[in-house]
Amino acid sequence: MKKLTTNLKYFAIALMVLTLIFSYYLYSFIASEQYTNIIVLATVFGISVFAIGLYFGYIDKEVNTKIDLGFNYHLFTYIIVNGIGIIWLFSVLGFTNENIKMAASQLLFWGIGLFVHYLFSRRSIKGYDRDTIFK
């Protein structure tokens, strides 16, 4: 990440608000066992995060390539969503082995996806030019 752009800051603020709202409703739906609402909420949250990331990334005037910017937005999403999620999880539900395993598995698997995105966002992958790979 070369620098923190203004649009990336706006994205981070919007993402924090969305994540706090999502976390509140998620745990209230879990407590009341409204599992259908959880699926709808998660779908709306995912589409909303993608849409605001796409919007702020598209209007970003930075000289970085769009793929590099995409990685930056993905990294911020990983940090903010998981950070708020872990704080919320442990403050609302308390420390239990099941909660720790759930949080660790989310960090691990999403982290693997983030690492793959990092590899593909670089200019070349093990000597292959990105333009050659994506023809």
Query: Can you tell me the mean pLDDT for 119-132?
Result: 59
pLDDT tens string 70-82: 788 888 999 999 9
Whether the pTM exceeds 0.85: the reply is no
List of residues 6+ apart from 68 with CB closer than 8 A: 1, 2, 121
Q: Which structure tokens are listed for 128?
A: 């292959």
Asked whether the predicted pLDDT for residue 99 surpasses 80, the reply is no
pLDDT at 19: 92
**What DSSP string describes 36-84?**
HHHHHHHHHHHHHHHHHHHHHHHS---SS-HHHHHHHHHHHHHHHHHHH
125 φ, ψ to 5°? Answer: -120, 110
The mean pLDDT value of the chain amounts to 81
Can you give the residue ranges of every domain in the chain?
6-133
Query: Can you tell me the mean pLDDT for 87-96?
Result: 74
What gap in Å lies between CA 33 and CA 93, rounded to an integer? 15
Asked whether the beta carbons of 29 and 20 are under 8 A apart, the reply is: no
What gap in Å lies between CA 46 and CA 114, rounded to an integer? 16
Confidence of residue 7 (pLDDT cuts 50, 70, 90): confident
Among 70, 58, 79, smallest CA distance to 1 is for 70
pLDDT tens string 35-69: 999 999 999 999 999 999 888 888 877 655 555 66
